[in-house]
Amino acid sequence: MTLNTRKRVFSGIQPTGEAHIGNFFGAIRNWVANQDEHEAFYCIVDLHSLTLPWDPAELTRATLAKGAELLACGVDPGRSVLFVQSHVPAHSELAWILSCVARMGELRRMVQFKEKSKGETESVGVGLFTYPVLQAADVLLYRAHGVPVGEDQRQHIELMRDIGQRFNTLLGETFVLPEAWIPAAGARIMALDDPTQKMSKSADRPASVVQLVDPPDVIVKKVKSAVTDSGREVRAADDKPAVSNLLSIFALAEGVPVAELEERFSTSGYGDFKAALAEVLVQRLAPIRERYRELMADPGETQRLLATGAEAASAIAEETMADVRAKTGLLPRL
């Protein structure tokens, strides 16, 4: 007897800001790995990008570009469903219903809200506060089991379990309670210019991130200017946060253990180590950048693939919504 272990996975990425190696090693790489074994849904969450001030033309460009980036990374529309959140209106509908189940207190505890609102509670947009409810709707809508994400999303996934569980208890078994699938390595890549901060699309400090589509000379420049720690040993240690971060990036890019790199660079200084890291990253990202450029030369193809994805996603979303509307007591339209 063979056991069917195929599960459904869902994950999302915001379109604004070019994807970087933190997104890649923390999440996208695992999206690609999961599409062989599991039924995968991957979403460009454009509505989430409205929670901070935005430029409409840039949002349109970035949404299409994010589609091309994901395809270039190996998300395969033949094996997974890749789509844009706003193309499936059920995300917004479910988010409203869940916002009537979620509680102010639990949303107030969200670390990302505290960080992004910078302590400002009166003038900050309501959408930033309810952001995690829309995220809960994204996943619960597909009754997904696994959510491949980086460490920074753990709290949001715990919250969606709580909201889903509360709905199930109040109105009847409806949602699968999802689990965060966080990788053992790469779950929290730190900024190159400050190892105490996570690498972030919205940092507004170009030197802090390596983007997947950065040209080779830019990658070399950024890696060479990355901060290091005192001393000169290439070794991962608590008192060497910058070098530890660079070592874990190197290990992920080359697919070797950190210990092997410590051994390899045991007689080198930081300069040689960083030159080697830059070379490895250039090699690792070259095919992604090349494919991205090809796709962006004919964006119509990416747009068509996203439309096909939205159709497949809508079919599943509508099944769940029929159940949700009935359980909620909304009068069916004749």
Residue at shortest CB range from ligand TYM = 26
Closest to ligand TYM by CB, 116 or 264: 116
Secondary structure, 3-state, the chain: CCCCCCCEEEEEECCCCCCEHHHHHHHHHHHHHHHHHCEEEEEECCHHHHHCCCCHHHHHHHHHHHHHHHHHHCCCCCCEEEEEHHHCCHHHHHHHHHHCCCCHHHHHCCHHHHHHHCCCCCCCCHHHHHHHHHHHHHHHCCCCCEEECCHHHHHHHHHHHHHHHHHHHHHCCCCCCCEEECCCCCCCCEECCEEEEECCCCCCCHHHCCECCCCHHHHHHHHHCCCCCCCCCCCCECCEHHHHHHHHHHHHHHCCCHHHHHHHCCCCCHHHHHHHHHHHHHHHHHHHHHHHHHHHHCHHHHHHHHHHHHHHHHHHHHHHHHHHHHHHCCCCCC
Tell me which residues are annotated as active site.
Answer: 116, 198, 201
Structure tokens at 108: 């107030």
Cα distances (angstroms) measured from residue 313 to each of 40, 58, 143: 10, 25, 12
Closest to ligand TYM by CB, 147 or 247: 147
Closest to ligand TYM by CB, 99 or 268: 99
Which positions touch ligand TYM (CB under 6 A)? Answer: 10-14, 22-23, 26-27, 45, 48, 135, 138-139, 147, 149-150, 152-153, 187-189, 198-199
Closest to ligand TYM by CB, 128 or 276: 128
Closest to ligand TYM by CB, 144 or 276: 144
CA distance 209 to 219: 9
Closest to ligand TYM by CB, 60 or 197: 197
User: At closest approach, how far in Å is the CB of 316 from ligand TYM?
Assistant: 15
